[in-house]
Amino acid sequence: MVAAGIFLSRILGLVRQRAFAHYLGTSAAADAFTAAFRIPNLLQNLFGEGALSASFIPVYAGLVSAKEQEEADRVAGAIGALLALAVSVVVILGVVGSPLLVTIIAPGFAGDKRELTIRLVRILFPGAGLLVISAWCLGVLNSHRRFFLSYAAPVAWNLVIIATLLFFGPRLGLADLAVAAAWGSVAGSLLQVLVQWPTVRRVAPTIHFHFDARTVHVRTVLGNFLPAFVGRGVVQISAFIDALLATLLPTGAVAAMGYAQAIYTMPVSLFGMSVSAAELPAMSGARGTPEEVAAYLRARLDAGLRQVAFLVVPSAMAFLALGHVIASALYQTGEFGEKASIYVWGILAGSAVGLLASTMGRLYASAFYALKDARTPLRFAVLRVLATGAFGWFAALRLPGLLVVGPEWGAAGLTASAGVAGWMEFALLRHRLRGRIGRTGLPPGLLPRLWASAVIGAGLGWAVLDLVPHLHPVPRAALVLGGYGAAYILAAGALGVSEARAALSRVTRRGAGPRS
């Protein structure tokens, strides 16, 4: 259900990005909007899903599992009130301090581009505050196993922005259209909260907002919130380092990274976030002796890791080998041409380096959160940021010159260097967790079989591409990626991957129909 909700919202997100690409392309206004959206988005990521998942959900889900609904609702109300107060203060400071924020985050912007970015930040900040409240709703709903609505709610946000772009796109200039899209984002944020609120009231009818930091459960949430908050902040610093370096690259780099990000975060969200989000409440409710809890966590982790690897490995190979097919099908329209599709492909290929590590790392971090340990992921996140900064500076600003390519390709170096740092963080998380609950991870030999299957699939995909090189990008992508996916499943099944054989078995049973 998590994956279904995320898939629906991500598909609408890609439609939103396609509409954005059609009207704004890789223009200076598109750069300004992408950079501006990153700044208040920090608010959502700091206070929202990440920190709440690490601190609020384990405590609240534990109370719900123990049938202590009234106490659970008291905790939820207190955390909601404290969260709303903190976010309101940060929104005000963000609106007032937007010129300073833009100077820090986008030092490469100047003139009209900088002024537009400041204006957009001021509009977008309140909407990001509303999305934090939406994340609180998500925490309540997930703890009650209401997964679909909470992850499908961003559909409302996407729909409002899409409608704004379609209505104002033919009527406004680029800068004014970016402003209209920003106001659409704020309206969509409010709608995203409103669609969840009735269900929140049904599953938690005794919730009322009040300020209370004295009870033991609220103190536990707050105690875990600080390291989780800092941990998310560290991760966001990593993202902002990339965004800052991208502003020093030629015009179009920031927008292109935004388009690529909408694609490469899809498998992370669909397969990493869905598995880890569904597992966190379950792992948080584990009861028994330390040995029993450890065995339970190992079983859930191992099953989740297999799911993640089976789906993410072909995603990474598709980005590496067929990224131009994906980018052109999604974005090649209006102001977004074939050259831009090739550019986005390069950035996608860089993201393939760390895609598997980032996705599996989410599941390991959820296991630490279920153990009510938010400090260990924080320490490793700090190391990841330091590595990302060092690698990213070299890959973005120095490596293109050494390779004798254009400076714009530093954007691909940014995503690749972030992937290397992601593998470092993943290795540290896995090593430390094994010390807590015992050996866990993918069975030996599984990854080589998955990568081999993906290479076979990519070979077939290129063969199909050679047959239909001039077909419209959308049907061409359907043929190429369809052949790639089918070949991957068949090859993985032939190599003994149980997930592939189960998928083939389901298809075979459906094809056989009912027996007499």
pLDDT in tens, 273-298: 777 767 766 777 667 788 888 888 88
Average pLDDT of the segment spanning 196-221: 81
Q: Which residue has the higher pLDDT, 384 or 5?
A: 384
**Would you say residue 516 has pLDDT above 50?**
no
CA distance 387 to 148: 36
- The secondary element (H helix, E strand) that includes residue 324 is helix 290-331
Q: Using one digit for the tens of pLDDT, what is the confidence trace for 169-205?
A: 998 989 999 999 999 999 999 999 898 889 988 888 8
Cβ burial of 211 (10 Å; 0-12, 13-18, 19+) is exposed
Average pLDDT, rounded, for the chain: 84
CA distance 394 to 376: 28
Q: Which of 225-239, 294-308, 380-394, 422-436 has the highest mean pLDDT?
A: 422-436
Range scoring the smallest mean pLDDT among 157-161, 291-295, 509-513 = 509-513
CA distance 14 to 31: 17
Range scoring the smallest mean pLDDT among 169-183, 426-440, 473-487, 498-512 = 498-512
Which are the contacts of 235, defined by CB distance < 8 A and separation ≥ 6? Answer: 45, 50, 381, 384, 385
Q: Is 67 left (phi over 0), alpha (psi -120 to 50) or beta?
A: left
Q: Using one digit for the tens of pLDDT, what is the confidence trace for 366-416?
A: 888 778 787 888 788 888 888 888 888 898 888 888 888 888 888 888 889
**Would you say residue 239 has pLDDT above 80?**
no
| Ranges of each domain in the chain | 2-442, 445-511
**Would you say residue 305 has pLDDT above 80?**
yes
CA distance 169 to 180: 9
Q: Which residue has the higher pLDDT, 378 or 238?
A: 378
**Between the CA atoms of 395, 396, 401 and 402, what dihedral angle is there, to the nearest 10 degrees?**
0
Q: Using one digit for the tens of pLDDT, what is the confidence trace for 54-64?
A: 677 777 777 77
**Would you say residue 45 has pLDDT above 70?**
no
User: What pLDDT score was predicted for residue 53?
Assistant: 65
- The secondary element (H helix, E strand) that includes residue 247 is helix 216-247
Q: Using one digit for the tens of pLDDT, what is the confidence trace for 60-80?
A: 777 777 777 788 888 888 888
At residue 487's C-alpha, the angle toward residues 485 and 493, to 5°, is 105
CA 386 to chain centre: 21
**Would you say residue 512 has pLDDT above 60?**
no
68 CB neighbour count, 10 Å cutoff: 14
Range scoring the smallest mean pLDDT among 168-172, 204-208, 328-332 = 204-208
Which are the contacts of 516, defined by CB distance < 8 A and separation ≥ 6? Answer: none
Place of tokens 């056989």: 512
CA distance 129 to 306: 36
Report in angstroms the alpha-carbon separations of 347 from 142, 226, 253, 500: 33, 33, 10, 29
CA distance 35 to 469: 34
CA distance 441 to 356: 13
CA 337 to chain centre: 26
Q: Are the C-beta atoms of 415 and 260 separated by less than 8 Å?
A: yes
Task: List 336's β-bridge partners, or say none.
Answer: 333
Return the closest-CA partner of residue 369 out of 276, 239, 485. 276
DSSP-based three-state secondary structure for 333: strand
Q: Which residue has the higher pLDDT, 252 or 454?
A: 454
User: What pLDDT score was predicted for residue 429?
Assistant: 92
Return the closest-CA partner of residue 131 out of 76, 206, 56, 52. 52
Amino acid sitting at position 126: P
> Would you state the structure tokens that stand for residue 465, as one six-digit string?
């591409």
Return the closest-CA partner of residue 367 out of 453, 307, 284, 243. 284
